[in-house]
Every structure is written in C-alpha cells, then in structure tokens.
Amino acid sequence: MRFFSDNAARVHPSVFAAMAAADSLDTAYDGDRWSRSLDARLGELFEREVRVLWVPTGTAANCLALAALCPPYGGVICHRDAHIQNDEGGAPEFYTHGAKLMLADGPGAKLDPAGVAKVADAIADDVHRVQPHAVSITNATEYGRVYTPAEVAAIGELCRARGWRFHMDGARFANAMATTGAAPAEMTWRAGVDALSFGFVKNGGMSAEALVFFDPDLAAATLRRRKRAGLLLSKGRYLAAQILAMLEDDLWLANGRAANAAATTLAEAAGDRLIHPVEANELFLRATPDEAARLRAQGFDFYDWATGEVRFVTAWDSASEDIDRFAAAIRQL
Amino acid sequence: MRFFSDNAARVHPSVFAAMAAADSLDTAYDGDRWSRSLDARLGELFEREVRVLWVPTGTAANCLALAALCPPYGGVICHRDAHIQNDEGGAPEFYTHGAKLMLADGPGAKLDPAGVAKVADAIADDVHRVQPHAVSITNATEYGRVYTPAEVAAIGELCRARGWRFHMDGARFANAMATTGAAPAEMTWRAGVDALSFGFVKNGGMSAEALVFFDPDLAAATLRRRKRAGLLLSKGRYLAAQILAMLEDDLWLANGRAANAAATTLAEAAGDRLIHPVEANELFLRATPDEAARLRAQGFDFYDWATGEVRFVTAWDSASEDIDRFAAAIRQL
Amino acid sequence: MRFFSDNAARVHPSVFAAMAAADSLDTAYDGDRWSRSLDARLGELFEREVRVLWVPTGTAANCLALAALCPPYGGVICHRDAHIQNDEGGAPEFYTHGAKLMLADGPGAKLDPAGVAKVADAIADDVHRVQPHAVSITNATEYGRVYTPAEVAAIGELCRARGWRFHMDGARFANAMATTGAAPAEMTWRAGVDALSFGFVKNGGMSAEALVFFDPDLAAATLRRRKRAGLLLSKGRYLAAQILAMLEDDLWLANGRAANAAATTLAEAAGDRLIHPVEANELFLRATPDEAARLRAQGFDFYDWATGEVRFVTAWDSASEDIDRFAAAIRQL
Amino acid sequence: MRFFSDNAARVHPSVFAAMAAADSLDTAYDGDRWSRSLDARLGELFEREVRVLWVPTGTAANCLALAALCPPYGGVICHRDAHIQNDEGGAPEFYTHGAKLMLADGPGAKLDPAGVAKVADAIADDVHRVQPHAVSITNATEYGRVYTPAEVAAIGELCRARGWRFHMDGARFANAMATTGAAPAEMTWRAGVDALSFGFVKNGGMSAEALVFFDPDLAAATLRRRKRAGLLLSKGRYLAAQILAMLEDDLWLANGRAANAAATTLAEAAGDRLIHPVEANELFLRATPDEAARLRAQGFDFYDWATGEVRFVTAWDSASEDIDRFAAAIRQL
C-alpha cells in the first residue's frame, strides 16, 4: 500500500483510452488536431484566451514559465521549501540561464505579501544586486496547504505594484481546486497569475502537463524554448490526448477530490500528530522511528521526512480499503 | 497515405501493450524495475557494460550526449546538414552552454575523416579560437545514407588520435543496422563511439529514446543533467517499458527492415529521379512542382524539400498496398 | 618594427595623461564624473541621445551588444570571417546564452543585403530552426575593407524590413571613419545601426572601449549584464578618462588617419601583391615563405596569414621612418 | 575625506610608474614578458608552482574560479553575506552556467566547518537536489573579520573529506595577511585552498587582480573561459605590470598594513559602538541617523549600512591627518 508519492500513481483508464484513440496518422510535433485543440479547450475552462503548451514534466512546465517571466540577470522570489528550489536539480537556473531564486518564509510553504515584500525590500536597487522580476508560488504547497483565490490575489497585487510577473506551480492544482471549489479563473489570471503549471501526472496522467499562459504574448518565445530544451515530442498527440482526457467531464477535479478525501480520512486518524493542516492530499505527521517501523511492517510505504516526521501522500487511485486500514493503523500507534 | 515523416508514424501494438503492463505500482522516476533493467538489457545487445538513460526525444538524447562530451567553451564537428545543426532549435547550444557546432561537408550528409580533419586543421590552436572536442555523426544520415562500421571506425580513429569524443545520432539507428546487418557493438563502441542516441520513436515507439554511454563514467553527470533539463519523468516506467518492448525479439530491427524495404520498393520506382542512394528509409527525388501536385492529388502526403526536390519517408507501419500504389504513381510521372 | 597587430601598439601620451589626471578621489564603478559624462560627450559626436558603457575589451563590447540584440534561442547573421565568429573564443555564445552565429559570404569580409538575405531565406520559419534576430558587421572589416554609410544603410534597411536588430563591430571604427570622412551619425544610427562597439584600444587607448546604444532602452539590461560579466571595474574613472582623451580634439580620428596613411604607403609599395584593396590599416599580401623570411630578417614583424599570404597592420604609432623602410623592403622583394 | 570604500582609492604611484614602463612594443594579450613572468613571480611568493591569470575585476577572478571548481549542475557553499552572493549581480550564476550558491551562517561573515557541514548535510544525495561541489570563503570577510590559517585549514580539511574544491576570495587578502602575519602558503594551498582571487585594486592597483590556481590543471580551461568572457585584454602587459609593481618589495603587504592601522585607530575611537571586531580595514558601527549626519557635516563620507548602522572603510591612501580628525569626530559623538 503505497503512500510515498502521487508521482508513482497509476495512469487513469480514460487517459490510456485517449492515447489509444490518438493512435492514428496525423502531423508530428504539436500540429496535430489534439494539440491544436488545447488552447480552445483550456480557454473554456479558464474563461479567457490562453496559450497552452504540453510538456512531459512539471519541472519543464515550471522552468519554461520562469524563463518566460524572468531574465537571466533577474531573480524569482519563492518559498524556501519550494519544489523549484529543492527538487528540480537546478532546472530553474538552467532554463533561465542563471536567474537567482530568492527565498522567502511562511508557514506550510505558503507565501504572503509581507513575506515576499520582506525579501524584496532587503535588496538595494543597484547593479550589484540581482533584482526580483517574478514570484512563484505552489498551490497546493509542498506541505499540502492551499491558497485561496483571495490569498493568491493579494500576492498578485503586490506583483503588479512592483512590476513583477507571477507564476503558479500547480503540480497539485487539482487538489487545491477541489478544496477551494473556486473557479479556475478566480484562482489564476483574475488573481494576477501570468502562467500556470497545470499538473496532470500526479493526478491520473502519464506524461503530460499543461503550461498555461494567460498572457498570450509570453507563449511565442516559449514555443521556441520548448523545442530548444528537447521537450517537443514528435508524437505530441499522445500528450495532448492525455490532457484532453483529464479535462473531459472534469476528471481532473474528480481525481483531485478523491485524493483529498483519502487524505482527510487519514488526517482524522492522525489527530494531533499532524504538523500542518491537511488541505490537499499530503500529510506530515510526527512519528517516532519505531512508530514508522510498525506502520511499514503492516505494509504501508511512505517517506521519512525528517527525524521524527513522516509524510503520507494519497492519490486519485488510493483504494478506500487501503485508506481505511491505514487510518486504523495510524490510530493504533 | 503519409510519407512526410516517420516521426508521425503510429505506435507499435507491442509498445502499447508494454505500457499497459507497466501500469502497476512502483517507484517513481527511474527507480522502477523497468528502468533499472535497461543497463543490463542494452548491455547484452551491445556486448559490454553500458549506462542507459531514457529520454522523451531524440533532441534530448543528442544534446545530453553533446553536453557530456564537449565543454561549454569547446566545439563539436558535425555535418553541415546534421539534425543537431538544423532541426533542434538551438538545443545543442542550450545543453552545452554555448559550445559551437563546426560544420563539415560530405555527400549525403556523410562525414569522413578527411572532411572532419579539414575543419579542425583550419583552426589555430590558440585561446582565440574555439577548439573541437568531439565529432557527431548521424547514422542513418539526414539524407538516408548509411555508414558502415568501417566508415564509423575510421572517424573514431581520428577522434582517438586527436583526443576528441565521438557521438552517434541514431534516430534511425535501426534503419542503418537493418541495412548493414552489422553487430551493434561493431557499429558503435568497437568503432570508437562514446555515446549513442538510440532512437525508437520514429520506429514504433511513442515517447522514449535511449541514450547509451559506452563509457560509464560519462553517465553520472548526465543523470543530473537529465533531471536539470526537466526530462526526468516521474512515471519513467512507461518509457522504459517502451524501450524494452522494442528490444524484445529484436522488434526494433524488424521495424527498421520493414521501413527500409518499403523505401527500396519506392526507390526502384523512382529510378534516376533519386538524388541520393537509398540506403535506409528516406528518398530524395527530383520532381517538378507539377509532378508533386499530381502525386498529392492521388492522396500521397510528403515534404517539398527544395525547389524541384521532394522527400518521402517510409516507416515501420507503411502499408504494403500504399507502397505499391505509391510506387506505381511515381512510375507514372 | 612591429606590423603584426595594432593590438600591441602603445598607449597615446594623452591617454596616459588623462588617466593620471583621473587619479583623485571619486565614486567607484561608473558613478564618477568621467563615466557620467560619456553619454553627453558621445551624444554630441553622434548628434543624438545615446547610452554609453565603457568596457575593457572589444570582445566584451561586441558580445554585450549581441546579448542585447538577440535572445538565447535566436541567431545573428555575420560574415564567415567575422571576428565574433573566429576570434572571440566563443564569447558570443557565452554572452547570448547560446545564440547561433549564421555565416554569410562576401568579398573582403564585407556583407551586403543579398548575402545576408540568402542566409536568412534558407531558414524555414518554424520552431525547429533557429531564427535570425540580428545582423552584425565589422567596419573596417577583418580584411581592412570599409563600408560606406550607404552600404551600411542598405543592410540597415533589410534589418528594419525583417524586424532584426543591427550591430556594428567598430574595433577599427576610427580607420573606417578616417577613410570615408563620413559623419559618425551617417555611419551608424542614421544607417539603422542599433549598437556600436566603438574601439579605442587598437588606436591609442589602453583598456577602454565604448559600447554605444542608439536605442537607450537597450542599455538598461546591459548595465546589469556588464556587472554580471565581471566587467564593471571599480575604478571605472580610469577607463572613462581614456575614452574622453581619445575624443578630445578628435584624437581618435587623427590616430585613425595616421594608421591609414601608413597603410597606404605600404600598399603603394605592395602593388599587385595585394589580395584585398587597402581601405584602412590592414594589408594582406601574397608573399612566398622565402620572401616573408627576407622581410623578417630585416627586422619587420608580422603574421603569416595563410600559405603564401602575410598580413601587415599599421597603427597610430607606426613610425614614418619604419614605414618608409618597410615600403622599400617590400618593393625590393 | 572618503571612507565609503577602498574601491575608490587612488592608484599607487609605483603602479602608475610600472604601467608607464610597460609602454613599449611587445606581444598582445598575455604573451608579453610581464604577463609571462607572473607564474614564476607568484610561485616564489607562494612557495610552489602556481598558474596565474590577470583579470580586470575581483568579480571576474571569483567567478572564473567558481566555474573551474564547480560544474553547472553543482553548488558552492558560501556565507549568506558573501560578496559572490550579494554584490556580483549574478556573476557566479553566469560564469558557472547556473550553479547554485548555498548559504551558510556564521558571525561576521565567517564560516566554520560546522556551519558548512550543516548546509551540506541537509541535502539528500539524490538527483533532485543540487549537490555541493565547492566552498568559497572571503578573507578578510565582508565584515572585516580575518580567518587564521588554522581556521582556513579546518574548512580545507572538510573539503578534502567531502571531495569538494575550495576557493578563497581575497579581494582584501593583503589586509588579512597583514593582520595574521602568516606566510601566503600557510593561508592558502597548505590550508587546502585550490584557487585564490588575489586582490590588488582595493589596495593600490588600478585594474588588475590575480587569479591564482594552486592546482595547475585547473588553469587550462580557465585560460579559455577568460577569453570567452571578454576578459583577455589585448594590452595585457599593463595589467601584469600593475601586479608586478604591487608585489615588488611587498608593496601589497605594506599597503594592507597601512589600511589596517588606520582602521585600528578608528576602532579605538569607536569603542563599544563596534558591531564586529576590527581585524582588517572595515568598521561597522552603531550610529543614529543624527550622529551619521553630524559626521557627514564635518566632511566624512561613508555608507549607511542599515538602520542605525554605518560602515567605514580605510585604504592604503587614508591620510593620517584625516584618520586623526575622523577618530576625534567619532569620539565626540
């Protein structure tokens, strides 16, 4: 019973079916009819004109976005615990040609305008200091916290006031949306977001994430950067088909809800062991090495996060009987 | 009836089946059992220890290889018509952090030691000139020509003599191998090749190419570069499974043979219209715009290569009745 | 008697004197009164608002300009024999983060609109091909040829029509201006040039070149790139003072004239040995190894350019008696 | 009376004289006799074989060193207040092609092995995390603290144990050496330092710093990187001459002593206003805005460091009467 990452979840049957259905002759790269329909399809979802690029990983989506939003000699303010800072092997620096990540603080890997401003205000505006050009937040965060549209908008306002761009890493966007029940537009461009990494792989997809630009002008150079990064798969239709399948009948949202519900069940079992409020599909718990060992002995697989801390991640395909057994095991600790 | 690129071919049923079979729980990234078996599986094929990384595109494979073989301040000698020079959107420069491609000449996009040496010998060995550090060849070439193992070895010998590294872009390696009947080892490391981009996507795969290092030491940094480029898919098992399926019972070779056979049939029909000998699965023909239009009117789809020149590409899935009809249509021009 | 390069010439006494005069207390970097006066001083010379950055080398000036004019995923069309292509150790690729130099042909390292267009027109406008974003020419050229303002303007017009930027490498701008007698404005921004590397080091300076932007908006990011490249000397006043001294009473032009006059004298002696017309301060001659040896035996120092070809370069400080002796020696070959 | 930075100090007369003496004909770049003598001259000082490159700025020296010691996908551990992190406009990221600075803590911008290890030990050794490859310290530090040879050696030992390289930013190396009285060898390579940025510009030079490699193998690629960064001045002899003049009769050390002595005088006057011990030529004091204004009204020029904090920097040319007047003024606050 696997709770170590939604990254390792299975592929949803609808996604597989859509890939099989795309197995016909069409143009290569992103000229096929599946790929060409993405702008319109996501435009509906977001209630405005958008430009959408499929890419095979969330790291690629994030870092193409950062390269579009920040020049090589600039900086991106993000949380100290952000995925782009800690888990992408230096990809932000590679894609931006050396821009600097500027680390802000906040509980549960969440930023707020004050925390962002504090980082920026400490930087003298001269040529010796790298200047911030963008902010990047993760929703849901690396600790399973969720920004509301209002919280996003507050940061978006700061960005506008300072002339910065604004990126949202939505590797778990579905989980955040399931929690808030917000309209996609409210959570993104109406809150000032310029680019969204809209994740599907953790949520039932196989190998396709959508990089969504709310400012179409930002997309043109990114089409070239995507090719230049070796990310333009020749059989792109199989990626576009995955995204379309995830959007069909809001499968993405249903999957997000399922993962969140599983997490809620476990959270109730965990009680005051919880280190962060559980708002999406990740749980961080206090557990002694001995307690962790006992859970593992019962067949539950998860990460040790730090000394005395463990992380559980649920996914769209977490079986309800596994969840129940796991909840029971947690209660018995 | 599509002859514009093998890039747009379908996915082989065995590849699809292997992906479905991989749809179970396992570790993320490249820690799963499919990914972990690649070194051994390709080691058998190449009759030596190798290190293998799956990547989603040939551009990624080529450019990760170049980054491993050439420093940012160095150069890579390749043919003027090489894919890395003309069709990768500047990816070699991105991955190598600005290394220079140094363009050599030769018929049919083939290099030979004299052509390579001519480029190198014109470069004074001082700090003002970028120095060559590697050679990259494409087999089969961009014009459908094939290097024999002896021809590769002649270039490999030059590389060794000059202290350069040697890369082979094998986007159509299967086609070259089908033509020559050589052992994989003879065509690669025994001929001095340090790294091979072993292509599957044009040949029945969906989204997985293998980057094969014959010098294991070269692979360690490349594991980091792959992650840093956003190429480390979290559900890597679906890529590894594709490669394993293509290797099973030498499917890759059978598919290469099928595409080559189709090309041979068309070549016989084309006769003295051919601009290059047809040794793999690409044909370049002289055809007036009017002739091209007549073929298109009959439902044949292909590229105009240059004024008065067209390109046809066959694939593993070229239907024999299509080939026959196409051959007949070409004859009737 | 040194004719191998104007690079190795001495520093003009006025330049030394200006550096000594700058040896007082003032602000660091480029905040001092000498540095702050450059925009106005060069604005007068060019008859318009300009932004000027001192830098210590011509390579730095050229490559900062290219980085301002071309994105990492773009290309710069230049002559196959351009300094940026052959003599800057890959600096253009470093500063632009991997932009591609696209090589055009033309006699004497001179480009014309047809030669430039030929390169560009061969590049399909798709995402697989790097697209040209700028043109760079060298005036005087690497073979001592000079563009007239009309010739520059013809290329400038092509740039405007295609939406490209336009750079002039003026390492020997003084020599070109001395030859043509043109107004600086005519040779540059009125002819469509966006950025000029205005060289002083070969012409009496020690360690200061001026990068001149005719579009002030281009300068802002370059101020940051200059710092980021480690080129912002803390005692910048000594560089600014050099440039101001070179501009005083048009010393730069007088020095250019002196070097050109010396070259003309040698050119008359060389007669039909000349490979290129002598329009600035460089001469390329046919000379057998034996003839070259005979000149060297008389104390004349110069480069062997190619088999049977030698290069002589005069400078602002070429002594007239040396020139006369060298002319005589050439005649006696 | 200027105390805002040693960066703005004058050029020592001996340095000027040496530049004038170098104003004769010689080879360009670094082929002249002054440049060619640097390895031997600094080899004597450091009592071992070294490779030395002149560069025009400390930023260039630091960042060429980092590029030699750390791959693009790696990280460099440095202090949170290090010059490379805060005052080089992103140059480390530019030169290293995007390596990450990893920020450690310690009083007075000094690192110790425990602080360095703490940063490193928090980084899991997997492909998702950038791994440390080098440590960089500044001696004297950005807060005017000095490392003893033993303190350097302790960090050097950690580096060796972990397989990391070790860089010392010696922009104020002379001040540190004047304080400790250590042998240059003890402070550097015997303590495990691989590369030293040996600063002269703050200490009487004009535009030349020495990048010293104690491992000669590291220098070869750096010669190419220096050119590639536009840092290879064609009239390099004027830079080499500056360095040779500073080394003559240990002028560098005498100048360092003079600046330190001036700082000591001021420190005695400052008493318990001092925020950091004064060990070199920088003082950080508590002073209210009103107090700062009163000092400025008397003609003393300095930086406001933070609210209620000011910084004074002495230099080799701080006039003793200025120092006495300044000390008196500080006492009278």
In a domain, A264, yes or no: yes
In a domain, B319, yes or no: yes
D88 and D170 share a domain?
yes
D85 and D189 share a domain?
yes
pLDDT band at C9; cut points 50, 70, 90: confident
Query: Over the stretch A169-215, which tens digit does the pLDDT of each residue have?
Result: 999 999 999 999 999 999 999 999 999 999 999 999 999 999 999 99
Q: What's the whole-number average pLDDT of chain A?
A: 96
Range of the domain at A23: 12-249
Interchain pair B94, C89: CB under 8 A: no
Residues of chain C with C-beta less than 8 angstroms from the C-beta of A226: 127
Mean pLDDT of D39-64: 98
C197 and C207 share a domain?
yes
Residues of chain C with C-beta less than 8 angstroms from the C-beta of D239: 207
Query: Over the stretch A59-110, which tens digit does the pLDDT of each residue have?
Result: 999 999 999 999 999 999 999 999 999 999 999 999 999 999 999 999 999 9
A56 and A188 share a domain?
yes
In a domain, B4, yes or no: no
Asked if residue B121 lies in contact with residue B77, where contact means CB atoms within 8 angstroms, the answer is no
pLDDT value at residue D310: 97
In a domain, D6, yes or no: no
In a domain, C292, yes or no: yes
Asked if residue D1 lies in contact with residue D323, where contact means CB atoms within 8 angstroms, the answer is no
- Is it the case that residue A26 has pLDDT exceeding 80? no
Tell me phi and psi for residue A212, to 5 degrees: -110, 120
Asked if residue C253 lies in contact with residue C177, where contact means CB atoms within 8 angstroms, the answer is yes
Q: D303 to each of B145, C30, C67, D306, how far by Cα in Å?
A: 69, 17, 33, 9
Number of structural domains (chain A) is 2
Tell how far CA D72 is from the center of its chain: 23
**Percent with pLDDT over 70 in chain C:** 100
B33 and B168 share a domain?
yes
B76 and B175 share a domain?
yes
Query: Over the stretch C89-124, which tens digit does the pLDDT of each residue have?
Result: 999 999 999 999 999 999 999 999 999 999 999 999
Interchain pair C88, D227: CB under 8 A: yes
Among partner residues C10, C20, C63, which is closest to D16 by beta-carbon distance? C20
Interchain pair C57, D202: CB under 8 A: no
D29 and D140 share a domain?
yes
Low-confidence ranges of chain B (pLDDT < 50): none
Interchain pair D10, C26: CB under 8 A: no
pTM to 2 decimal places: 0.98
Length of chain C: 333
Tell how far CA D253 is from the center of its chain: 14
pLDDT value at residue D8: 80
Q: A18 to each of A6, A237, A247, how far by Cα in Å?
A: 21, 10, 11
Asked if residue A304 lies in contact with residue A331, where contact means CB atoms within 8 angstroms, the answer is no
- Is it the case that residue A1 has pLDDT exceeding 90? no
CA distance D21 to B180: 68
Give the residue from A23, A7, A207, A63 showing the smallest Cα distance to B57.
A207
pLDDT value at residue A98: 98
Interchain pair C225, A73: CB under 8 A: yes
CA distance C57 to C69: 19
CA distance C114 to A158: 50
Among partner residues B71, B128, B223, which is closest to D227 by beta-carbon distance? B128
Per-residue exposure over A85-121, b if at least 16 CB sit within 10 Å of its own CB, e if not: bbbbbbbbbbbbbbbbbbebebebbbbbbebbbebbe
From the CB of residue C32, how many other CB atoms can be counted at a distance below 10 Å?
21
Query: Over the stretch C34-75, which tens digit does the pLDDT of each residue have?
Result: 999 999 999 999 999 999 999 999 999 999 999 999 999 999
CATH number, domain at B279?
3.90.1150.10
C270 and C168 share a domain?
no
Query: Over the stretch C221-249, which tens digit does the pLDDT of each residue have?
Result: 999 999 999 999 999 999 999 999 999 99
Residue A285 makes CB contacts below 8 A (sequence gap 6+) with A270, A273, A274, A275, A309, A310, A311, A312, A330
Taking one residue from A and the other from C, the number of pairs with CB-CB distance under 8 angstroms is: 32
A244 and A258 share a domain?
no
Among partner residues C28, C57, C94, which is closest to D7 by beta-carbon distance? C28
Among partner residues C86, C93, C129, which is closest to B129 by beta-carbon distance? C86
> Distance between the two ends of chain B, CA-based, in angstroms?
18
Residues of chain A with C-beta less than 8 angstroms from the C-beta of D121: none
The last residue of one of the domains, among D200, D234, D249, is: D249
Taking one residue from C and the other from D, the number of pairs with CB-CB distance under 8 angstroms is: 150
Residue B155 makes CB contacts below 8 A (sequence gap 6+) with B111, B112, B113, B116, B135, B137, B166, B191, B192
String of DSSP letters for A90-123: THHHHHHTS-EEEEE--GGG---HHHHHHHHHTS
Q: B170 to each of A33, B179, B196, how far by Cα in Å?
A: 29, 14, 6
Tell me phi and psi for residue B112, to 5 degrees: -140, 170
C294 and C201 share a domain?
no
Interchain pair C73, A228: CB under 8 A: yes
Query: Over the stretch D90-137, which tens digit does the pLDDT of each residue have?
Result: 999 999 999 999 999 999 999 999 999 999 999 999 999 999 999 999
Q: A78 to each of A101, B93, D279, how far by Cα in Å?
A: 7, 28, 37
CATH number, domain at B63?
3.40.640.10
In a domain, A223, yes or no: yes
CA distance A298 to A46: 44
Ordered alpha helix ranges (H), chain D: 13-21, 33-36, 38-46, 58-69, 83-86, 91-96, 113-121, 149-162, 173-180, 184-187, 217-228, 237-247, 251-270, 289-297, 320-332
In a domain, A1, yes or no: no
> Distance between the two ends of chain D, CA-based, in angstroms?
18
Residue C30: DSSP 8-state = T
Least confident window among A163-172, A228-237, C1-10, C66-75:
C1-10
Tell me phi and psi for residue B283, to 5 degrees: -130, 135
Rg (CA), chain A: 20
Of B234, B237, B300, B313, which to mutate for an interface test with A (greatest number of A Cβ within 10 Å)?
Answer: B234
pLDDT band at C157; cut points 50, 70, 90: very high
Q: Which residue of D has its CA nearest to A87?
A: D128
Asked if residue A98 lies in contact with residue A76, where contact means CB atoms within 8 angstroms, the answer is no
Structure-block tokens of residue D128: 């998702």
Q: Which residue of C has its CA nearest to B305?
A: C124
The last residue of one of the domains, among D234, D249, D264, is: D249
Interchain pair C73, A97: CB under 8 A: no
Give the residue from C94, B131, B221, A91 showing the smallest Cα distance to D71.
B221
Query: Over the stretch D19-43, which tens digit does the pLDDT of each residue have?
Result: 999 988 678 899 999 999 999 999 9
**Chains with at least 3 CB pairs less than 8 angstroms from chain A:** B, C, D
Ordered alpha helix ranges (H), C111-183: 113-121, 149-162, 173-180
Helix (H, G, I), strand (E, B) or coil at D167: strand
Q: Which residue of D has its CA nearest to C234?
A: D7
Q: Mind spelling out the 3-state secondary structure of D216-240? A: CHHHHHHHHHHHHCCCCCCCCHHHH
Among partner residues A88, A93, A130, which is closest to D89 by beta-carbon distance? A130
AA letter at D222: T
Residues of chain C with C-beta less than 8 angstroms from the C-beta of D88: 227-228, 230
pLDDT band at C5; cut points 50, 70, 90: confident
In a domain, C5, yes or no: no
Interchain pair A88, B227: CB under 8 A: yes
Asked if residue D3 lies in contact with residue D300, where contact means CB atoms within 8 angstroms, the answer is yes
pLDDT value at residue A206: 97
Structure-block tokens of residue D154: 């302790």
- Is it the case that residue D189 has pLDDT exceeding 90? yes
CA distance B318 to B261: 10
**Percent with pLDDT over 90 in chain A:** 95
Asked if residue C24 lies in contact with residue C175, where contact means CB atoms within 8 angstroms, the answer is no
Of D29, D64, D127, which to mutate for an interface test with B (greatest number of B Cβ within 10 Å)?
Answer: D127
Kindly list the residues of chain B whose beta carbon comes within 8 Å of any beta carbon in chain D.
29, 71-73, 97, 127-128, 131, 221, 223-228, 232
D256 and D271 share a domain?
yes
D224 and D199 share a domain?
yes
The last residue of one of the domains, among D198, D217, D249, is: D249
Residues of chain C with C-beta less than 8 angstroms from the C-beta of B93: 93, 98-100
